[in-house]
Structure 1
Amino acid sequence: MNYEWLALLAAALWACTSLISVTPSRQLGAFAYSRWRMGLVSVMLLSAALFNNQWQMITLEQAGLFALSGFIGVFVGDTALFACMNRLGPRRASLLFACHAAFSAFLGVWLFNEALFGWSLLGAGCLFLGVALAVAFGRKPDQHSWEKISGPVGIAVALGLTAALCQSLGTVMLKPLMSAPEFSQIDPVAGSALRMFSAFSAHWLLWLSGNKLARAQNPLNSRLFMMIAANGFLAMAVGMTLMLFALRYGDVSVVALLSSTSPVLVLPLLWIVTKQAPTRSAWCSAALCVLGSALLIFA
């Protein structure tokens, strides 16, 4: 079996779940939606990790690193991403989030003295050019509400880039742990469960503090709850499981490239849902982001 294609299926699921996120995120607000999503995903992953019974393979120091990665990458990163999505829509938000590949490359240069020149530098430029094209062009007066920009563009772009940067930081800080020989003995489901539970704990403490940002803008109903549960199950339980199989048995570079195609895959899905064909600039910006990711991965 060609396991690399499981990464493409995972990317398709993430594209689908980005559309599922739009309604509950806008109804509840970024913080309340993220809190419920992280809570439900934590229950799913903790249950799976308890079933596998692999907790004893994670040391206290490793658990702390997973928790810190979850706080930065999931609590801050995901919340910023949904706040960006509420302002720019799922297409532009996914393109901004794709910049995490470029940020990871720059962080590798800064923290691990990795080289970034030639094709890698061109890839980073393609990513940022694709995002700029998506935000600056392609607007139409009769656009679907998911494509309209709400509020100041600068704030929305800053939120999207913050989400991408936090995703990169949350991943890069695990690099020393992942490269260690003992990492192969760590159950990835248990590690993901720790990251998610750390993010949920931060959301829960923020909500307990009475901070206005943490309050839900509208009451949670059964329809929104099912959408959040479906999003968490498809994105984390199914999507991440497919990615784990792809990474374990497939070529890592090909898997990384196929999993970065969400900005392109979301376009036909938006076409189906909104009944409006994406503009040429939308296709061009998505293609630039995927090309940039490919150059960064294979360079």
Structure 2
Amino acid sequence: MNLASYDLFALGAAACWALGSVLSVSPARHLGAFAFTRWRMLLVAIMLWAVTLAVGSWHSLVPASWGVLALSGLIGIFVGDTALFAAMNRLGPRRASVLFATHAVFSAMLGIWLLGERISPQAAWGAGLVMVGVMTAILLGRHREENHAWESDRGSVGAGVALGLLAALCQAVGSLIVKPVMSLDVDPVAASAVRVTVACGVHFVLLVLGFKAASAQQAPNLRVLAQTALNGFIAMGVGMTLILLALKNGDVGMVAILSSVSPVLVLPLLWWRLGRAPAVGAWLGAALTVVGTALILLR
């Protein structure tokens, strides 16, 4: 595997997460963050285990990997995903995305501090441009007179911000924990299956124990379940597997920075969904992100 391959895996994951964030808005607001995440994980776990058993890749799951994968799934998926969709329900996909993009900063700092990772000056400049571009595109990407439901506040903005940052931190910690396992010959689909199953199991424990927030706000219907399954397949089934592939040989920090471009990729999807082009600031941010990504890829 060459250098460009795991860079492209990270960018592919960003594209999956961008599409997934747009697809998740309606079912997440229908079911609520906990119920949506639970249904999403259950459907994805079934998909991943079906693939794992069909190709026999479960043999790659050595005993020493189970605990690490379980802990990574608990933090990165159970806490992280639930917090992300709770933030999205309050702030909408655009603003939740900018908060989640800070996982790149957390990942880079943790990678340097705990794993001794280093990046070249060119890659550092590229990383800086990517982060500035992402923040510019999201913070300046809204028209002043925008009144679409996806851009409105629902509940406490402060709580939404805190949940978005919590999701970013959990994503960074989850990636850091799973990195040593993915450096071995563990199959990424099998690893994803374990992580998702553990997170899903905890969600069902909360439901059985009568945790109020775990109950669905509205009963799921066939359309909502279909949307949830599609979202899960793209964002978790494909996107999360691509991230694990990237982590097999890529640094945690660089993988996180490249995957953090997903908020910029959300912009054309929102244009299509809202029927209106993003503001000028969004295009400026997108241009900075493209330049920064090029610097990283050509390092």
Q: Same fold (TM over 0.5)?
A: yes
Mark the CA change 1:137 to 1:18 in structure 2 (over 3 Å): closer, same or farther: closer
Name the CA distance, whole Å, in 1 between partners of 2:169 and 2:207. 24
- Please state if 1:162 is matched with 2:166: yes
Determine if contact 1:257/1:297 at 8 Å carries over to the other structure: no
State the TM-score, normalized to the length of structure 2: 0.82
Mark the CA change 1:287 to 1:206 in structure 2 (over 3 Å): closer, same or farther: farther
Residue in structure 1 matched with residue 24 of structure 2 by the alignment? 21
Which structure 2 residue ranges, 5 or more long, are not aligned?
none
Percentage identity across paired residues of the two chains: 50
1:281 is displaced (CA, Å) by 2.9
Q: Equivalent of 2:177, from 160, 168, 173?
A: 173
Determine if contact 1:95/1:289 at 8 Å carries over to the other structure: no
Q: Equivalent of 2:87, from 61, 69, 84?
A: 84
Name the CA distance, whole Å, in 1 between partners of 2:248 and 2:189. 13
1:220 is displaced (CA, Å) by 0.6
CA RMSD of aligned residues (A): 3.6
Name the CA distance, whole Å, in 2 between partners of 1:104 and 1:256. 6
Instruction: Give the SS at the match of 2:149.
Output: coil
Which structure 1 residue ranges, 5 or more long, are not aligned?
none
Name the CA distance, whole Å, in 2 between partners of 1:236 and 1:69. 14
Describe how 1:1-20 pairs up with structure 2 within 5 A: 10-20=13-23
Name the CA distance, whole Å, in 2 between partners of 1:115 and 1:8. 20
- Residues 104-152 of structure 1 show CA distances to partners (whole Å, capped at 9, x for unaligned) of 1111132124458966388459637854873588452442111223333
Q: Which amino acid aligns with 1:140?
A: R
Describe how 1:11-160 pairs up with structure 2 within 5 A: 11-115=14-118, 120=124, 123=127, 127=131, 130-131=134-135, 134-135=138-139, 138=142, 140-160=144-164
Structure 1 stretch 277-286 or stretch 71-80: which is displaced more?
Answer: 277-286
Structure 1 stretch 103-112 or stretch 127-136: which is displaced more?
Answer: 127-136
- Residues 79-105 of structure 1 show CA distances to partners (whole Å, capped at 9, x for unaligned) of 111111111111222222221111111
Mark the CA change 1:131 to 1:255 in structure 2 (over 3 Å): closer, same or farther: closer
Name the CA distance, whole Å, in 1 between partners of 2:179 and 2:244. 16
Q: Which amino acid aligns with 1:15?
A: A
Mark the CA change 1:273 to 1:82 in structure 2 (over 3 Å): closer, same or farther: same
Determine if contact 1:20/1:227 at 8 Å carries over to the other structure: yes
Mark the CA change 1:138 to 1:40 in structure 2 (over 3 Å): closer, same or farther: same
Mark the CA change 1:147 to 1:228 in structure 2 (over 3 Å): closer, same or farther: same
Mark the CA change 1:260 to 1:126 in structure 2 (over 3 Å): closer, same or farther: closer
Instruction: Give the SS at the match of 1:226.
Output: helix
Mark the CA change 1:112 to 1:163 in structure 2 (over 3 Å): closer, same or farther: same
State the TM-score, normalized to the length of structure 1: 0.82
Name the CA distance, whole Å, in 2 between partners of 1:224 and 1:122. 39
Residue in structure 1 matched with residue 271 of structure 2 by the alignment? 271
Instruction: Give the SS at the match of 2:150.
Output: coil
Mark the CA change 1:124 to 1:154 in structure 2 (over 3 Å): closer, same or farther: farther
Determine if contact 1:264/1:287 at 8 Å carries over to the other structure: no
Residue in structure 1 matched with residue 208 of structure 2 by the alignment? 208
Determine if contact 1:31/1:213 at 8 Å carries over to the other structure: yes
